[in-house]
Amino acid sequence: MANLHIQLHLVALFFLSSLILPSNCLPALHPKPPVALHPKSPVALIVFGDSLFDPGNNNYIKTTTTFQANFPPYGETYFKSPTGRFTNGRTIPDFIAEFAKLSLISPYLQTGHHEVLTKGVNFASGGAGALVETNKGSVISLHMQFNNFREANKQLRLKLGKRAARRVVKNAVYLISIGSNDYLNPLINNPSMFKSHAPQDFVAMVVGNITSVLKKIHREGGRKIGILTLGPLGCFPRLRLANVAAGGNGECLEQATALVKLHNPLLSQKLQLLQKQLKGFKYSYFDFFTVYTETIQNPPKYGFKEVKSACCGSGPFRGNFSCGGKRGVKEYELCHYPKDYLFFDAEHPSEAANFLSARLMWGGPSNVTGPYDIRSLFMR
């Protein structure tokens, strides 16, 4: 773990330096841009997932404020106004796009046209899960996100022709974050779910749905996948609050952590199997759990001052999901320096934490990012 300690510390210094340097100095902090695979077909970034990656797709669907972030104080650190991102600034895909010298990747439902696949597009939806039943009717599930991608690919073939469209889809890097809501939703809203399903069976169902979509992306022509494990869900402010509500002392909720410890190894096994089974399939597996656990255990070393409480929210640990005052709680607290916090709200990382993850995904040590890092996927 010593290598990871050094990497995390350097990432924290990079980000903190970027906060005090003029904006025209920022590119110097980023890695060298990748080489395009084909001069007429730049490498696109295509994103699927949940609120960790949603850039504002939920602004355009009939849902509730529970699954939206299009109101202050979201977005105010970087964009100076809310965009629909569930953080104070940029998300992980935003940083990955910057590192790859791409423009910010637009929400699919905002674009209104399908040729955006040539540059990249984001299908993610806050609250989405791998299971269709997760927050059904209020979000865009992973399977529906894939259907949107397939429709965009169909339109791309009509626009560019089959050969050129195939090259775009094959060269693209696919970034995925999914699964957290499949566990958080029943843990918070329906704990009895785990009385009727053995944890191992439930986890197998979630991971099975993820791998099913990965196979479908491959059948559409996608080859290069970057995927996040689940983080230490039990240590999120909302779950610490749940621990307090259950009579605990606010420590990490072990029931959630136990599910993550089943999910992540199984996902890793399935990815290794897919690499053997699917022609040309390459993946980058980011150990979100280890990175956040290390940071929570030693926050100053990685540039943070507060890793238990959220910057924005109410109640113990600001664990009530009330940031912005539009989720049923009018009064909420907001910290002065979001960059000091690992979590911006009860469930989502701050921009500083997103930078930490993105930088390690781009080129971190092999014990947290492998067998490929994201940069190498752009170059292959």
Q: Assess whether 182 carries a catalytic annotation.
A: no
- Catalytic residue among 348, 350, 357, 373, which? 348
Q: Assess whether 218 carries a catalytic annotation.
A: no
pLDDT at 82: 96
DSSP, res 127: T
CATH number at residue 107: 3.40.50
Each residue's pLDDT tens digit, 104-149: 999 999 866 555 678 899 999 999 999 999 999 999 999 999 999 9
Comparing CA positions, the residue from 210, 194, 50 lying closest to residue 135 is 50
Give domain status of residue 371, yes or no.
yes
Give domain status of residue 27, yes or no.
no
Each residue's pLDDT tens digit, 333-367: 999 999 999 999 999 999 999 999 999 999 999 99
Q: What is the mean pLDDT of residues 5-16?
A: 52
pLDDT of residue 46 exceeding 50, the answer is yes
Give domain status of residue 22, yes or no.
no
Total domains in the chain come to 1
Give domain status of residue 120, yes or no.
yes
- What is the Cα–Cα distance from 207 to 341, expressed in whole angstroms? 30
- What is the Cα–Cα distance from 271 to 269, expressed in whole angstroms? 5
**Residues in Cβ contact with 203 at an 8 Å cutoff, skipping those fewer than 6 apart:** 259, 262, 263, 266
Which region among 35-44, 299-308, 340-349, 351-360 has the lowest average model confidence (pLDDT)? 35-44
- Catalytic residue among 41, 50, 51, 263, which? 51
Give domain status of residue 372, yes or no.
yes
Give domain status of residue 302, yes or no.
no
Axis-axis angle for helices 237-245, 180-189 (nearest 10): 20
Q: Give the amino acid at 5.
A: H
Q: Which residue has the higher pLDDT, 355 or 197?
A: 355
- Catalytic residue among 94, 182, 345, 373, which? 345
Q: In the 3-class helix/strand/coil scheme, how is 272-337 assigned residue by residue?
A: HHHHHHCCCCEEEEECHHHHHHHHHHCHHHHCCCECCCCCEEECHHHCECCCCCCCCCCCCEECCC
Q: Assess whether 201 carries a catalytic annotation.
A: no
Domain of residue 55, residue span: 33-295+356-379
pLDDT at 197: 83
For 42, 103, 123, 165, 292, the CA distances from 111, given in Å and listed in that order, are 19, 14, 11, 18, 33
Give domain status of residue 71, yes or no.
yes
Give domain status of residue 51, yes or no.
yes
Task: Report the predicted TM-score, pTM, of the whole model to 2 decimal places.
Answer: 0.89
